[in-house]
Chains A and B, each alone.
Chain A
Amino acid sequence: MNLKRKFDAGEFAVLAEMEPPKGVDVSTMLSNAMRVKGEVDAFVIPEMSNAVMRMSSLGGAMILQGKGMETVMQVNCRDRNRIALQADLLAANGCGITNVMAVAGEDPSFGDHYQARSVYDIDLLELLNAIRGLQDGKDMAGIELSGSPQFLVGSTVDAGAKGKSPELEIEEMTKKIEAGVQFFISPPLFDLSAIHPFMKRVDIQKTKIIPTVLLLKSLGMARYIMRNVDNVYITDSLIDRIQKSPDKVRECTQIASEMVTSLKKEGFSGVNLATLGWEHKLPEILERI
């Protein structure tokens, strides 16, 4: 329960996303995680992000937990109905997973199985209420459980996201807090000023906001995000900085490290490092913090 302890103590928590494999060869995921085991408080295991079919979050989380690493399991309503979601939550907690993060999940049309029928039997808020119900000892049908799970519950908030109204986001966040959410992961941040309007309205000492720091892999990726990704700000000066650097990859890891340091100084509860397949770069980011 390292993550909960850190949150309770008000210490800065370092989370890192660790994508499970598309297949059963978990050696790369394991070796990447092992290399930063001591520096990461918990690994966030995405639940088939972008609707690309791969090993489930539950599977990936169990594999890392088996090697002594704490994880945050993601659950979403896209692929499972209320029966399966509750069953997986019980399985997870029964296997020692104590952190769970409920996310909306991208539509199958974004992924590699675009012909799939999405489920959405319940929505995100209903899922959060279901998690709270399980913790209180009852399932969604009101039937008493034989042993109730206990989770640290997280979700997402679009804090600092381009084109989002901070007021609406705060309303959404309040609803989630009422449904039992204890920490929030927010979208990739490259410019602290983007999250300032949100910070003016939310006391980040009280509400645990964990911004994502996304590792850029190239100038092209930075430009692509700037032009095409709706909810992420990338400034021209950042593009310039990468462009002028003789070692662009190293510059990008340096940018990620600096952002982590800045977020710590700003008083955020932690950071979520997203490296999108470049998990081997985590040590380089972490050593400069």
Chain B
Amino acid sequence: MIVADRKPIEEIIAEIKEHEKILILGCNECVTVCEAGGKKEVGVLASALRMYFLNQGRDVKLDEITLERQCDHEYLEEIRDVIDQYDAVVSLACGVGVQFMAEKYHTMPVYPGVNTCFLGVTEKRGLWTERCQACGQCILARTGGICPVSRCAKRILNGPCGGSTQGSCEINKEISCAWQLIIDRLKALDRLDDYEQIDPIKDWSTDRAGGPRKVEREDVQQ
């Protein structure tokens, strides 16, 4: 899932303080799972903003809606009838949702309510960690299902850098060395011979470095 974190409320206030009628728009997908932008967080943010504006002696309209998703036309269409009631939207979706909202409602100011962080997993409640950088050419088959692109600080592809100690990354002891994990996993799979193979030089043109990307499937287009 896309993992996001709550934006400091001071940042949100700094962006929206001039507005009078604000819609707080949540998303029921990834940001709900990582407890940053779902219905519950929409309520918490709206309450905090109401307190702020009350203390400022201002009567600001603050409404709460949470859509199933903000990255699909059909769900964003659900607010078309009500959007004119507002002069700003704070979207608690990831950066994808914020942008799609802004594209769809071109004259409506849309502000991000979360910081979008990475593609990751819930290790346990309150702890989310990165697993994928969406490089566009998955190499997990060769690395025992552990990604050095997202989990090695140096993103190196042919074995550890030599800086790790007792399985920990040199940049932070709390981070596991991705290559130690890969070696352990290959051992468990009895595939350690794979470790001897040198990977071909990676083609980064499918990564974000190659520019904004798209996936186009004519077979599913109508």
User: A and B, one complex?
Assistant: yes
Q: What 1/0 mask marks residues of chain A from 90 to 130 whose CB sits below 8 Å from any chain B CB?
A: 00000000000000000111000011111000000000000
Look across to chain A and name the residue whose beta carbon is closest to the beta carbon of B208.
Answer: A117
Chain B's nearest CB lies how many Å from the CB of A119?
Answer: 8
**Residues 194-210 of B at the A interface (beta carbon under 8 Å):** 201-205, 207, 209-210
Asked if B202 and A109 make an inter-chain contact with CB atoms under 8 angstroms apart, the answer reads: no
For the complex, is B211 an interface residue (Cβ under 8 Å from A)? yes
Task: Return chain A residues, CB-CB under 8 Å to B210.
Answer: 108-109, 114
Asked if B204 and A117 make an inter-chain contact with CB atoms under 8 angstroms apart, the answer reads: yes
Look across to chain B and name the residue whose beta carbon is closest to the beta carbon of A116.
Answer: B204
Task: Return chain B residues, CB-CB under 8 Å to A118.
Answer: 209
Look across to chain A and name the residue whose beta carbon is closest to the beta carbon of B135.
Answer: A117
Look across to chain A and name the residue whose beta carbon is closest to the beta carbon of B206.
Answer: A115
Asked if A115 and B211 make an inter-chain contact with CB atoms under 8 angstroms apart, the answer reads: no
Look across to chain B and name the residue whose beta carbon is closest to the beta carbon of A118.
Answer: B209
In the assembled complex, the Cα of A118 lies from the Cα of B201 at a distance in Å of 15
Task: Return chain B residues, CB-CB under 8 Å to A115.
Answer: 201-205
Q: Could you tell me how many residues of chain A have their Cβ less than 8 Å away from some Cβ of chain B? A: 8
Asked if A109 and B211 make an inter-chain contact with CB atoms under 8 angstroms apart, the answer reads: yes
- Chain B, interface SS category: loop
Quick one: which of B201, B202, B207, B211 contacts A107, CB cutoff 8 A? Answer: B211
Max chain A Cβ within 10 angstroms of own Cβ: one of B203, B204, B207? B204
Task: Return chain B residues, CB-CB under 8 Å to A117.
Answer: 204, 207, 209
Look across to chain A and name the residue whose beta carbon is closest to the beta carbon of B203.
Answer: A115
In the assembled complex, the Cα of A116 lies from the Cα of B209 at a distance in Å of 8
Max chain B Cβ within 10 angstroms of own Cβ: one of A107, A109, A114, A115? A115
In the assembled complex, the Cα of A107 lies from the Cα of B207 at a distance in Å of 13
Task: Return chain A residues, CB-CB under 8 Å to B202.
Answer: 115
Q: What 1/0 mask marks residues of chain A from 211 to 245 whose CB sits below 8 Å from any chain B CB?
A: 00000000000000000000000000000000000
Task: Return chain A residues, CB-CB under 8 Å to B201.
Answer: 115
Task: Return chain A residues, CB-CB under 8 Å to B207.
Answer: 117
Q: What 1/0 mask marks residues of chain B from 72 to 114 whose CB sits below 8 Å from any chain A CB?
A: 0000000000000000000000000000000000000000000
Chain A's nearest CB lies how many Å from the CB of B204?
Answer: 4
Chain B's nearest CB lies how many Å from the CB of A83?
Answer: 14
Chain B's nearest CB lies how many Å from the CB of A123?
Answer: 15
Look across to chain A and name the residue whose beta carbon is closest to the beta carbon of B210.
Answer: A109
Asked if A114 and B209 make an inter-chain contact with CB atoms under 8 angstroms apart, the answer reads: no
Max chain B Cβ within 10 angstroms of own Cβ: one of A109, A116, A117, A118? A117
Look across to chain B and name the residue whose beta carbon is closest to the beta carbon of A120.
Answer: B209
Chain A's nearest CB lies how many Å from the CB of B152?
Answer: 15
In the assembled complex, the Cα of A107 lies from the Cα of B204 at a distance in Å of 12
In the assembled complex, the Cα of A109 lies from the Cα of B212 at a distance in Å of 12
In the assembled complex, the Cα of A100 lies from the Cα of B207 at a distance in Å of 31
Look across to chain A and name the residue whose beta carbon is closest to the beta carbon of B204.
Answer: A117
In the assembled complex, the Cα of A117 lies from the Cα of B205 at a distance in Å of 7
Q: 7 closest A-B pairs (Cβ-Cβ)?
A: A117-B204, A117-B209, A115-B203, A118-B209, A115-B205, A114-B205, A115-B204
20 contacts between A and B (CB under 8 A): A107-B211, A108-B205, A108-B209, A108-B210, A109-B205, A109-B210, A109-B211, A114-B205, A114-B210, A115-B201, A115-B202, A115-B203, A115-B204, A115-B205, A116-B204, A116-B209, A117-B204, A117-B207, A117-B209, A118-B209
4 additional contacts, CB 8 Å, given A107-B211, A118-B209? A115-B201, A115-B202, A115-B204, A115-B205
